[in-house]
């Protein structure tokens, strides 16, 4: 019992130390007045129409704010933590991916404004997006009838069906063409006559966290884009 108690105290000390370290990594100083200005500008309303700004969530990579205007309009602003990686390309790829899915018919919030650079008046990268009304499924699932649950599942399956139909010319992450530096390798998305905006997108380096953790992006490794024939050749060589 004594040993177990001692180990518990040690574990508490370790958790407390790590918590302090993690909090310091997530601490972000930004200009709240500039955030209000950007949010108001994104919906073409004066900043003075904002009556309330609240922090509504702390995610794995973002701190999320909600701005409420006179009349009830609500807008979401997402600011990444300083420790969120990759810097610049992470936000750029997420915005491009959301827009790409939206034009393919996936129900997803519309991006109103964004910046993948922290060199601005706000002092941070940001994504400003429309707020989707409704309740979380976890809050309603247990009060739904079997028929209502089946209807929800069918909608989810239909969304997954749309996602699996989409084909990509290479493995990597989605970007707008203009958001990548000129010297960064990319593969253009093929033209689609039914979706004219697809020509704005390309596949660039993977923004997967493990490619960038502990400066791994500085290694001489190919983090994408990897064209499909290259992956096929690699699988043939490795058996």
What pLDDT does 193 receive? 64
What pLDDT does 140 receive? 92
What pLDDT does 52 receive? 96
What pLDDT does 154 receive? 96
* Furthest CA-CA distance within the chain: 72
Partnered with residue 226 across adjacent β-strands are: 171
> What is the token pair recorded at 149?
């649950």
211-216: which pairs have CB atoms within 8 A and are 24 or more residues apart?
211/86, 212/85, 212/86, 213/85
For 146, other C-beta atoms within 10 Å of its C-beta total 7
Per-residue pLDDT of the chain (239 residues; tens, 9 = 90+): 333 333 444 444 555 567 788 778 888 899 999 999 999 999 999 999 999 999 999 888 899 999 999 999 999 999 999 988 898 899 999 999 999 999 888 989 999 999 999 999 999 999 999 998 888 888 999 999 999 999 999 999 999 999 998 888 898 999 999 999 888 899 999 877 667 778 899 999 999 888 888 888 788 778 888 876 554 444 444 44
What pLDDT does 158 receive? 94
Which DSSP string do the residues of 12-73 spell out, in sequence order?
HHHHHHHHHHHHHHH-----HHHHHHHHHHHTT--GGGEEEEEEEEE-SSEEEEEEEETTS-
What pLDDT does 33 receive? 94
Residues of 183-203 as b/e, b for ≥16 C-beta within 10 angstroms? Answer: eebbbebeeeeeeeebebbbb
């Amino acid at each position: 019992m004594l040993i177990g108690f001692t180990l518990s105290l040690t574990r508490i000390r370790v958790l407390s130390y790590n918590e302090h370290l993690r909090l310091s990594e997530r601490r972000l100083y930004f200009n709240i007045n500039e955030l209000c200005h950007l949010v108001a500008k994104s919906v073409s309303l004066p900043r003075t129409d904002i009556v309330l700004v609240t922090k509504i969530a702390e995610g794995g990579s973002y701190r999320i704010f909600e701005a409420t205007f006179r009349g009830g309009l609500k807008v979401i602003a997402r600011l990444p933590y300083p420790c969120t990686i990759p810097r610049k390309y992470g936000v750029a790829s997420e915005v491009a991916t959301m827009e790409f899915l939206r034009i393919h018919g996936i129900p997803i919030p519309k991006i109103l404004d964004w910046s993948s650079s922290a060199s601005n008046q706000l002092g941070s990268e940001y994504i400003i997006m429309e707020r989707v009304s409704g309740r979380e499924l976890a809050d309603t699932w247990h009060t739904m009838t079997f028929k209502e649950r089946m209807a929800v599942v069918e909608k989810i399956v239909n969304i997954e069906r749309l996602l699996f139909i989409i084909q990509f010319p290479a493995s990597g992450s989605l970007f707008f063409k203009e958001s990548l530096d000129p010297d960064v390798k990319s593969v253009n998305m093929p033209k689609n006559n039914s979706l004219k905006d697809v020509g704005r997108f390309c596949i660039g380096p993977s923004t997967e966290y493990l490619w960038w953790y502990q400066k791994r992006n500085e290694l001489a490794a190919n983090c994408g884009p990897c064209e499909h024939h290259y992956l096929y050749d690699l699988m043939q060589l490795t058996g």
